[in-house]
């Protein structure tokens, strides 16, 4: 089966050899890779898509833009969507209702949808009106190879990422901790806050800088806002791949990957006391940090190799009926 995609999954030789991409294989540094606009991606997929058995689209806007081009021209999409996250419901908004209907109509044209969490099978099916047997969950893999890294001295807590992070809760906890806390966030996060003697805010830094901060951390804390969509996987999987103990919110994007008290620590949404106590416990107990980190690294090495993910993904793509 011939597959075309807008996914830049260069870590997997199996994926590169089994699919074609609208992107050339990059030769530049990761921070310098060109990212095509949504409609440029959709147009390139549309122009080439009729030569393929499956077109795998990544991203909600990219997926819907390609589906829209196929719908208005009558071209069979042969589409498998992935990372089509549902947004927060706004039932009193006419625009949101209109978008929901449009997205549902386009999503139902796809031959299948792949989700990043088991919970999203139900929420996506309900939101878009798609039969559940046309959705499947494939666990993500880390975007970096596994490596064992040592924490710096003195130890510090790292919190990172942009989507649906509860940084105000992280800030309140950081003010109570006796160790440095480093927060890597977007420009619009933590408005009105500035770095202090113990809390350092890094906004819009290069990925290489973030990875260096991740390598040196003792604990990675990712409190998430209430949500029905999966989020946080990129950061906590990269942390797990470095053997770091992760504290994160029990949510659709975490429970499929982090086993509480085994390969990480799960807290409930908005529970600042639970986050504080988990941070203190791990910072005070090096043996526990090591045990959780080793279990996390073992999970990544057993389940998270790029070619393993690619094979699971390709099997799912091939399993959807025409």
256-313: per-residue pLDDT in tens?
999 999 999 999 999 999 999 999 999 999 999 999 999 999 999 998 899 999 999 9
pTM given for the model: 0.91
Any residues with CB less than 8 A from the CB of 141 and at least 6 apart, and which?
11, 237, 300, 303, 304, 305, 306, 308, 309
What is the residue whose two structure tokens read 């999503």? 107
Does the N-terminal peptide bond of residue 154 adopt cis geometry, omega within 30 degrees of 0?
yes
3-141+306-319: CATH topology: Rossmann fold (3.40.50)
Q: What band does 143 get if pLDDT is binned at 50, 70 and 90?
A: confident
CB 318 within 8 Å of CB 17: no
What pLDDT, on the 0 to 100 scale, is given for residue 31?
47
Beginning with the edge strand found earlier in the chain, give each strand of the sheet holding 181-185 in spatial order. Answer: 199-203, 181-185, 157-160, 219-222, 246-249, 265-267
What pLDDT, on the 0 to 100 scale, is given for residue 33?
55
CB 46 within 8 Å of CB 79: no
What pLDDT, on the 0 to 100 scale, is given for residue 185?
97
In this predicted structure, the answer to whether residue 27 has a pLDDT above a threshold of 60 is no
Q: What band does 145 get if pLDDT is binned at 50, 70 and 90?
A: confident
In this predicted structure, the answer to whether residue 29 has a pLDDT above a threshold of 60 is no
Rounded to whole angstroms, the Cα distance separating 313 from 114 reads 8
- What separation in angstroms does the CA of 157 have from each of 127, 208, 246, 280? 37, 18, 10, 10
What is the average per-residue pLDDT within 121-149?
A: 93
In this structure, whether the domain defined by 157-303 belongs to CATH 3.40.50.300 is answered with no
Indicate the domain borders of the chain.
Answer: 3-141+306-319, 157-303
222-241: per-residue pLDDT in tens?
999 999 889 999 999 999 99
166-176: per-residue pLDDT in tens?
999 999 999 99
Q: What band does 10 get if pLDDT is binned at 50, 70 and 90?
A: confident
61-104: per-residue pLDDT in tens?
999 999 999 999 999 889 999 999 988 889 899 999 999 999 99
**Residue whose C-alpha is closest to residue 304's, from 251, 245, 239:** 239
What pLDDT, on the 0 to 100 scale, is given for residue 304?
86
Q: Provide the token pair at 119.
A: 């919970």
What pLDDT, on the 0 to 100 scale, is given for residue 320?
92
Any residues with CB less than 8 A from the CB of 318 and at least 6 apart, and which?
1, 54
What pLDDT, on the 0 to 100 scale, is given for residue 28?
46
Q: What band does 34 get if pLDDT is binned at 50, 70 and 90?
A: low
Q: Do domains 3-141+306-319 and 157-303 have the same CATH topology?
A: yes
Percent of the chain with pLDDT over 90: 86
pLDDT mean across residues, the chain: 94
Mapping DSSP onto H, E and C, the string for 249-272 reads ECCCCCCCCCCECCCEEEECCCCH
What is the average per-residue pLDDT within 149-166?
A: 95
């Amino acid at each position: 089966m011939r597959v075309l995609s807008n996914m830049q999954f260069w870590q997997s030789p199996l994926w590169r050899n089994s699919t074609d991409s609208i992107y050339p294989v990059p030769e530049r540094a990761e921070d310098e890779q060109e990212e095509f606009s949504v409609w440029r991606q959709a147009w390139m997929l549309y122009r080439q898509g009729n030569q393929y058995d499956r077109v795998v689209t990544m991203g909600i806007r990219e997926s819907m833009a390609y589906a829209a081009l196929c719908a208005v021209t009558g071209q069979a999409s042969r589409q498998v969507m992935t990372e089509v996250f549902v947004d927060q419901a706004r039932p009193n908004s006419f625009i949101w209702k209109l978008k929901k209907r449009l997205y549902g109509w386009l999503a139902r044209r796809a031959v299948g949808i792949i989700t990043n969490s088991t919970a999203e099978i139900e929420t996506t099916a309900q939101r878009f009106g798609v039969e559940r047997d046309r959705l499947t969950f494939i666990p993500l893999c880390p975007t970096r190879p596994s490596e064992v890294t040592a924490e710096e001295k003195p130890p510090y807590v790292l919190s990172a990422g942009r989507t649906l992070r509860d940084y105000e809760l992280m800030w309140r906890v950081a003010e109570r901790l006796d160790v440095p806390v480093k927060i890597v966030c977007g420009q619009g996060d933590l408005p009105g806050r500035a770095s202090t003697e113990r809390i350092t805010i890094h906004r819009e830094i290069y990925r290489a800088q973030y990875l260096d901060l991740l390598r040196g951390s003792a604990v990675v804390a990712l409190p998430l806002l209430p949500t029905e969509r999966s989020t946080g996987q990129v950061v906590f999987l990269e942390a797990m791949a470095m053997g770091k103990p992760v504290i994160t919110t029990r949510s659709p994007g975490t429970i499929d990957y982090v086993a509480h008290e085994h390969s990480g620590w799960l807290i409930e949404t908005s529970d600042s006391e639970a986050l504080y106590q988990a941070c203190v416990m791990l910072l005070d107990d090096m043996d526990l940090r090591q045990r959780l980190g080793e279990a996390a690294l073992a999970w990544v090495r057993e389940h998270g190799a790029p070619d393993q993910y690619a094979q699971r993904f390709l099997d799912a793509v091939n399993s959807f009926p025409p």
